Amino acid sequence: MNLFDYYTANPAEGALFISGMSSLTAPVLREAQRVIDTSGTALAVDVGGGDGSLIRSLMRTNPELRGLVFDLPRVVGTARQEAERDGLADRFSVLGGDFFESVPEADLYLLKSILHDWDDSCVRILRSCRRAARPDARLLVVETVILDDKSFGPVAMMDMNMLAVAHGQERDLAEYDALFAAAGWRRTAVHQMNDPHSVVELRIAD
C-alpha cells in the first residue's frame, strides 16, 4: 500500500504524521503571510491541508477570509478542533473527500507540500481544482522548487526521501509548468520565501 493508505490503516501513526507536518509548516507561516495576498478572496480551500495550519494563519491576517480544509475524512476533525481553539470556527469549515476525484468550488486553492508527495499522477489533483475553480480563481502551490543547480543541493536529500517513501519527487519550474499546462493552469508568478519554499501562483489558462 502507499504511504497514505498505510496511515489510514494505522490511525495512531497517521495522527503523528499530521502533527509532524504541522511542525514543518510552522516556520513557513510568517513568510506565507508576507507573500500570499488574500485581499478580495471570499473562500480559500486548503487542499490536503491537514490540521489547517496554513489557512488558519491566513485567516488570522485577513478577518474577511473564509477558509475550508479539504482532506481525508479521518483528518478533517483535527482541523475543526484547531479552528475552534483559534476562535475561527464561525468562518471555517471542513470537508472530507479524495482530491484526486473532486474538490469544493473556491476563489483560491492552496496546495502546500502536496504535489511533491506524488509522481506525475498528481496532475489529477490540479485538474480537480481546475474543474471546481470559479472563473477568476487562483491556485497557490507551496513547494521546495528547484530554481537552479545551486538550489538543488539543499533539497537533494528530500528528493530521495520523497522517491523512497512516497514515490514522489521535488521538481524544477519546467517540470511543474508541464503539470500545470496539462491540468489547464498557467503560472503567473513565483514568490521566493526566506526558507527553501517558494509560492508558485497560477491562474486558469486561456
Residues designated catalytic: 116
Please compute, for residue 47, the number of CA atoms within 13 A of its CA located in the half-sphere on the CB side.
32
Q: Which residue in the block uniquely carries the three cell numbers 487562483?
A: 138
Q: What sign does the dihedral 152-153-157-158 (CA atoms) show?
A: negative
What separation, in Å, do the N-terminal and C-terminal C-alpha atoms of the chain show? 38
- Kind and range of the H or E element at 135? strand 133-143
